[in-house]
Structure formats: structure tokens, C-alpha cells
Amino acid sequence: MGLVKDLKEVRPYDFQRPHQLSRLQLDAITLMMESYLRMASNFLSTYLRTPVQIQHISTEQMPYEQYVEGVTIPSVLALFTINQSGSGLLESSPEVTLAIIDRALGGPGFGHFPSRELTEIEQTIYRRIMERLLSLLGQSWSSLMPFEARIDTIEYNPAFTQISSEGDLVVVQQQQISIDSHKGILSWVWPYPAIEPFALMLGRHALGREDDQDVKPKTQEMLKLLSRSSVRADVVLGRTTISLGEFRQLKPGDIIILKNRYDKPLTLSLANQEKFHVVAGKVGGHLAVRVTGRVNPDDQE
């Protein structure tokens, strides 16, 4: 019988739950999700015509039954298929969901929204918005590997969305969404088989089989992948304020005076944050801007 001399090579192994992600893999998944959150915030702000902010709160592993026990009924649970094989879940509160739908239909988006299930028309509108968000998620993760997802069904009780066995671990990512006066939590739930391929591509040391000395080069590889993610850039030519009566009387040929002076630079915003001063021009038949300097953070309101 041999003796183990180097105890550094011995690591604990959970036979009941062998499928676990390392801390570095969870951090990498969080970084990839934050890239998506910027895209999602920009899309919803434009689509709903009001400022929308989505901020990451936490990324945790937990048994699926623990997640289910914490779900409030009713909750809006969008079950989706990933790459035609895996599955995932996006949970949101009815209040935030109804605020999104109300804004999408041209409503004010504020006030009291009851905690209830969605009507068929509301489901159709919400499904369309969620499919667009899943498409943006696929774009932000496409630098790693193909990601295609589609909504299968919308439920209101986790008992009808069995995406994993009760004892299996799932990755739960919670985000806070702010729409006008409404704030709520969005929860992405990823079963291990669905998130594992992305975690392996990001961390390259699944189940903690690699030494700590390999962490630094893998982190550099992860940052290289993240650098390929797209970020929306916006340049607003100008703003002004007009009355509703003036708006109703607008016709072709009318001139609207903007608050911006023609000889002042414009501002380039990245993910809703002002970053650069630019001047407008034209390149090859397209509108273009030339960066002239950085925005001083102290000058922003």
C-alpha cells in the first residue's frame, strides 16, 4: 500500500454534487453578463422611451430546490431553450413586467400594478421583448461560442418549470432593474449542463483541476474574449423642448432651434455614460464623428 506524500494534490470532492463551477468561472460568467447588461439597458431605454438601468447584484450556485423555495407566487417565469438542447429560466416580478408592458404600449409606466398573471395579449408583448433580450445575450456571448435561445413558455409557478432536478446545482444571477419609479429583481437561472460549455471556455479549469499558478494567464485569456464584446455608442445631435401644441402643428419645412450651439462639440456616450467630445462630419456617404477629447467626470451632472 502506497502513502500519499504530497497532500497539496488532494482536494475535496463532493460525490453528491460533483458538478460545481469554480469561483473564477463564476466571476468570468458575471463579467460576460455585465457586457450584456449594458446592451440590454440601451435597448430597453430606446424601446420604452424612458431611462432603464439594469445592474448586477450577485452570481451564486445553489440547489434548485433552494431557488424554487425563494420564488414568490405569482412570478413571471420565462422558460427558454438554449442551443436546442439546454434550458434556462428568467424570473421577474409581475409589477416590473407590467410596467415594461405599459411603457411598450405607450402608457406612463408608473403607478400601482397588481401582482397577477399576464393576459394573452400581455404575454405576446412580453415574449417579444424577452426574445429580443435573448438575442442581445447571444450577441454578447458569441465571441465564446454560438448561443441561440428562444422562449418556450411563460409560467407563474416554479412547479411548472422543472428545468433541473431538485438536488442539482444551478447558477442564479440576480440583477436590479429600474424603470421610472419601479425597481425589481431579474433572476437568470442556469442549470449546470446549460452553463457548463461557456464556463469551460471562460475558465479552462473546470472542477478546480488546475493549479493556482494558471489563474493569471487564464484571466488574460478571459479579458481578451471580453474585449471582443460589442458596446453601443450614441451621439445626440441636439435637444430642445417644445409644447404639445407646437408638436401637433409640426409640418415638413418647419425649423426647430436646438439648445446646442453649432460651434460646440457633441458628446459620445457609451452604455448611457458620456465619455468623449466629438465633432460631426461625413465619411464615404455616411455620417461620422471625430473624437476631440475625453469628458471630464467632474463636469457631468
Q: Where do the domains of the chain lie, and which CATH numbers do they carry?
A: 23-226 (3.40.1550.10), 233-299 (2.30.330.10)
pTM > 0.85: yes or no: no
Closest by CA to 72, choosing from 130, 109, 120, 116, is 116
Q: What is the pLDDT of residues 12-61, one digit of tens each?
A: 545 555 557 778 888 888 888 888 898 899 999 999 988 899 999 999 99
Q: According to the model, what pLDDT value does residue 17 have?
A: 53
Q: Which of 180-194, 204-218, 238-252, 287-301 has the weakest average pLDDT?
A: 204-218
Residue 134 scores a pLDDT above 60: yes
Per-residue model confidence (pLDDT) at position 214: 46
Closest to 178 (Cα-Cα) out of 265, 33, 51: 51
185 pLDDT more than 80: yes
Which pLDDT score is estimated for 193? 81
Coil, helix or strand for 100? helix
pLDDT, position 207: 38
Predicted local distance difference test score (pLDDT) of residue 79: 93
pLDDT, position 208: 41
Residue 131 binned pLDDT confidence (cut-offs 50, 70, 90) = very high
Q: Which residues contact 57 (CB under 8 A, 6 or more apart)?
A: 174, 175, 176, 185
pLDDT for res 299: 62
Q: pLDDT > 90: what percent of the chain?
A: 25
Q: Is-contact 206 22, C-beta < 8 A? A: yes
| Per-residue model confidence (pLDDT) at position 204 | 53
Could you tell me the pLDDT band of residue 210, with boundaries at 50, 70 and 90? very low
Q: How far apart are CA 85 and CA 65, in angstroms?
A: 22
Q: How far apart are CA 190 and CA 194, in angstroms?
A: 6
**Cell reading at 46:** 430606446
Region 257-284: mean pLDDT is 83
% the chain with pLDDT above 70: 82
Of 86-90, 272-276, 277-281, least confident by mean pLDDT is: 272-276
The answer, yes or no, to whether residue 177 has pLDDT greater than 90, is yes
Assess whether the previous peptide bond of 193 is cis (omega < 30° from 0).
no
Residue 241's pLDDT band (boundaries 50, 70, 90)?
confident
Decide if pLDDT at 151 tops 50.
Answer: yes
CA distance 228 to 216: 19
Look at residue 139 and tell me whether its pLDDT is greater than 60.
yes
